[in-house]
């Protein structure tokens, strides 16, 4: 198989972790006789520094003409504490999501047996935890009208269309069919009108999926249940902002946010990235955990290219490395560096 992959390392530790995923993909291409063509492009703070734009046209065009996108991280502290700046790194990612129509963000939450002790939760609570959050990614308050009024007040608005909800909800139902056949819609339907539209729409759609159990849960309760009884979830479906917050929360129970991959599914091209951010403190130190990015590359092989066997080979190698006690400092008491973990996983494929 021959595929063109756009590589967007971005900011902070992005370049370091992406480099490890590339090594892994190169190993897979040799071992399984595929040809992956990698093309790098700028995004985020590093793109602003060089071009003044967080998403140069060149990058967007490359993404549009690629078969998949591998993404590192975005963000830089020099922008975080200055709310008056008009150009911000995050705009690059948001524009990319919108331009490519990346409507469904898949974030699997899985606990590795060997890492249970690293979780802040008791081991008994971690038994059987295996769920996926499907976060709507191109609607809601992230993309609604926002601004300041004449008297200096500020506003952000959230809008959802029925079609936008159906598209991502279908994705969640189809995924649940391949799993434990349970979908939990997380919303705030006791307060928000958009949430009531989500509920109505999902209830209607559920009639087409009689084999799936649908459950509705308010976001405040869901935030609590993810800590109290995370094993009760299978597929969580939610809107953009709730999904952003819940997935950071959920990542903590797995022991390290550095372990978690994600896929953002688009109509044509999809994007794959670790869920951790740019982790500026660790930038350039060769200490960040590359496993979230490596597992994102595995998701790319599986979901974008249908290379299930190859994806499994990466996942098995990661699992083996962890079981043998290898890991970066967030997960191992005898830590290896970012590049050493990359090499270890490559050698285990």
Q: Which is nearer to Mn ion, 136 or 244 (CB)?
A: 244
128: burial class by Cβ within 10 Å (0-12, 13-18, 19+)? exposed
Query: Across the strands, what pairs with 5?
Result: 38, 68
Contact region with ligand IPM (CB under 6 A), list: 79-87, 88-96, 144-152, 323-331:
88-96
**Tokens 């951010």 correspond to what residue?**
277
Interaction of residue 74 with ligand IPM, rule CB under 6 A: yes
Q: Which is nearer to ligand IPM, 94 or 223 (CB)?
A: 94
Is 57 one of the annotated active-site residues of the chain? no
From the candidates 170, 181, 188, 320, give the one annotated as an active-site residue: 188
Q: Which is nearer to Mn ion, 67 or 244 (CB)?
A: 244
From the candidates 11, 187, 234, 244, give the one annotated as an active-site residue: 244
Contact region with Mn ion (CB under 5 A), list: 55-63, 179-187, 240-248, 334-342:
240-248
From the candidates 114, 248, 320, 343, give the one annotated as an active-site residue: 248
Q: What is the DSSP string of 252-277?
A: HHTS-GGG-EEEEE-SS--EEEESS-
As a whole number of angstroms, the distance between CA 171 and CA 42 comes to 30
Is 279 one of the annotated active-site residues of the chain? no
Is 234 one of the annotated active-site residues of the chain? no
Among 11, 16, 244, 310, binds Mn ion (CB under 5 A): 244
Contact region with ligand IPM (CB under 6 A), list: 22-30, 89-97, 286-294, 298-306:
89-97
As a whole number of angstroms, the distance between CA 116 and CA 191 comes to 37
Query: From the CB of 93, what's the least distance to ligand IPM, in Å?
Result: 5
Interaction of residue 48 with ligand IPM, rule CB under 6 A: no
As a whole number of angstroms, the distance between CA 234 and CA 221 comes to 16
Among 17, 41, 45, 93, binds ligand IPM (CB under 6 A): 93
Is 79 one of the annotated active-site residues of the chain? no
As a whole number of angstroms, the distance between CA 88 and CA 78 comes to 10
Is 188 one of the annotated active-site residues of the chain? yes
- In the window 236-275, what residues touch ligand IPM (CB under 6 A)? 244
Q: How many residues bind ligand IPM (CB under 6 A)?
A: 6
From the candidates 64, 78, 220, 228, give the one annotated as an active-site residue: 220
Which residue of the chain is nearest ligand IPM when measured via CB? 90
199: burial class by Cβ within 10 Å (0-12, 13-18, 19+)? middle
- Three-class secondary structure of residue 223 per DSSP: helix
From the candidates 142, 160, 209, 272, give the one annotated as an active-site residue: 142
Q: What is the DSSP string of 137-190?
A: -SSGGGTS-EEE-TTS-EEE-----HHHHHHHHHHHHHHHHTTTSEEEEEE-TT
Contact region with ligand IPM (CB under 6 A), list: 25-33, 87-95, 111-119, 335-343:
87-95
Query: Across the strands, what pairs with 110?
Result: 130
Query: Across the strands, what pairs with 148?
Result: 154
Which residues form the interface with Mn ion (CB under 5 A)?
244
Which residues form the interface with ligand IPM (CB under 6 A)?
74-75, 90, 93-94, 244
The residues carrying an active-site annotation are 142, 188, 220, 244, 248
């Amino acid at each position: 198989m021959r595929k063109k992959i756009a590589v967007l390392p971005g900011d902070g530790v992005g370049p370091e972790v992406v480099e490890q995923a590339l090594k892994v993909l190169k190993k897979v291409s040799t071992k399984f006789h595929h040809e992956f063509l990698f093309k790098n492009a700028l995004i985020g703070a590093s793109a602003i520094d060089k071009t003044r734009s967080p998403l140069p046209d060149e990058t967007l065009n490359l993404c549009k003409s690629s078969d998949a996108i591998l993404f590192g991280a975005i963000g830089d502290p020099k922008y975080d504490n200055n709310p008056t700046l008009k150009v911000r790194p995050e705009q690059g990612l948001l524009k990319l999501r919108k331009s490519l129509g990346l409507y469904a963000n898949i974030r699997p939450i899985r606990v590795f047996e060997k890492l249970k002790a690293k979780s802040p939760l008791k081991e008994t609570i971690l038994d059987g935890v295996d769920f996926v959050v499907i976060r709507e990614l191109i609607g809601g308050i992230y993309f609604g009208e926002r601004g300041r009024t004449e008297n200096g007040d500020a506003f952000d608005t959230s809008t959802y269309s029925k079609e936008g909800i159906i598209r991502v909800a279908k994705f969640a139902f189809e995924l649940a069919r391949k799993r434990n056949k349970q979908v939990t819609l997380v919303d705030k339907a006791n307060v928000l009108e958009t949430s009531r539209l989500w509920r109505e729409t999902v209830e209607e759609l559920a009639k087409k999926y009689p084999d799936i159990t649908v459950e509705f849960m308010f976001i405040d309760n869901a935030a609590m249940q993810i800590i109290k009884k995370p094993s009760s979830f299978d597929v969580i479906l939610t809107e953009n902002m709730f999904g952003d917050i819940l997935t950071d929360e959920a990542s903590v129970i797995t022991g390290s946010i550095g372990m978690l991959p994600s896929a953002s599914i688009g109509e044509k091209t999809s994007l794959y990235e670790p869920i951790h951010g740019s982790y500026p403190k660790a930038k350039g130190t060769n200490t960040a955990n590359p496993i979230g990015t490596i597992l994102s590359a595995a998701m790319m092989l599986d979901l974008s290219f249908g290379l299930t066997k190859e994806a499994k080979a990466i996942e098995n190698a990661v699992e083996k490395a962890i079981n043998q006690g290898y890991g970066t400092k967030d997960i191992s008491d005898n830590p290896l560096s970012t590049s050493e973990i990359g090499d270890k996983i490559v050698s285990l494929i």
